[in-house]
Amino acid sequence: MVVVGGMPRLARLDAPGIVHHIVIRGIERRKIFRDARDWENFLERFGSLLLETKTACYAWALLPNHAHFLVRTSEVPVATVMRRLLTGYVVSFNRRHRRHGHLFQNRYKGSYLNLLVMCPNSY
């Protein structure tokens, strides 16, 4: 458990095979993708990281100020995948757009999905 501002933050549930709905949002709802090069950079990083970590991605949606992902984790925790993806992207974005500081609002938001309940015939 991590303590933030005096309040404990619960650890995220993660294990190989868990399906997560992940949301990232720009700080103050600002754009996290300004042009086509940003979208391409993010998707290249994401694709490479998925292959490297053997993380399955079932769906994604990139919007100007936020993004959604539906991923199934492998042996690599989703927190590690997201940290590597977002840190690398922010460094690149900031350098390219000559800016400094945070790009994303807080850490990513994530919830896991119980596919046995949602899709009982899929297993």
Domains of the chain plus CATH, in order, are 15-114 (3.30.70.1290)
Nearest alpha carbon to residue 69 among 11, 119, 113, 14:
113
Averages of pLDDT over runs of 10 residues in the chain (123 residues) are 57 75 94 97 97 96 97 93 96 96 83 56 50
Long-range Cβ contacts of 73-78 (<8 Å, 24+ apart): 73/14, 73/15, 73/16, 73/17, 73/18, 73/20, 74/16, 75/16, 77/14, 78/12, 78/14, 78/18, 78/20, 78/22, 78/110
Predicted structure pTM score: 0.80
Six token digits for residue 21: 């709905």
pLDDT for the residue numbered 109: 74
